[in-house]
Amino acid sequence: EAGVAQSPRYKIIEKRQSVAFWCNPISGHATLYWYQQILGQGPKLLIQFQNNGVVDDSQLPKDRFSAERLKGVDSTLKIQPAKLEDSAVYLCASSRGQGANYGYTFGSGTRLTVV
């Protein structure tokens, strides 16, 4: 099966600019996650979708970050305006279900550098 697709692979922007990332999960995977991974750390959850509904966005900095999954398939994560501390890899993951034994399949991520 095809993996989780993400684009762009790399992005460099100046602080206060906006940026958007795109993710297409594995076909049939109802659950989609966006994680932020700062260099040398583990992934940190930003938002979880179940189909087109938000399940958990408690750690999403909503003053600058937004995400949507309008048709329950692909998803977009946006940052506006970006700050230097947003420099990180943004990982999208999907899973077949929400159950505890379902492993995640991650995309290759988008490496964001804010200068």
Partner 1 sequence: GQSLEQPSEVTAVEGAIVQINCTYQTSGFYGLSWYQQHDGGAPTFLSYNGLDGLEETGRFSSFLSRSDSYGYLLLQELQMKDSASYFCAVRAHSGNTPLVFGKGTRLSVIA
Binding status of residue 7 toward partner 1 by CB under 8 A: no
* Smallest distance from partner 1 to CB 86, Å: 19
Q: Residue 69 in contact with residue 52, Cβ under 8 Å? A: yes
DSSP 8-state secondary structure symbol assigned to residue 91:
E
Binding status of residue 22 toward partner 1 by CB under 8 A: no
* Smallest distance from partner 1 to CB 67, Å: 14
* Binders in 52-71 for partner 1, by CB under 8 A: 55-56
Determine the Cα–Cα distance for residues 95 and 26; give it in Å rounded to an integer.
8
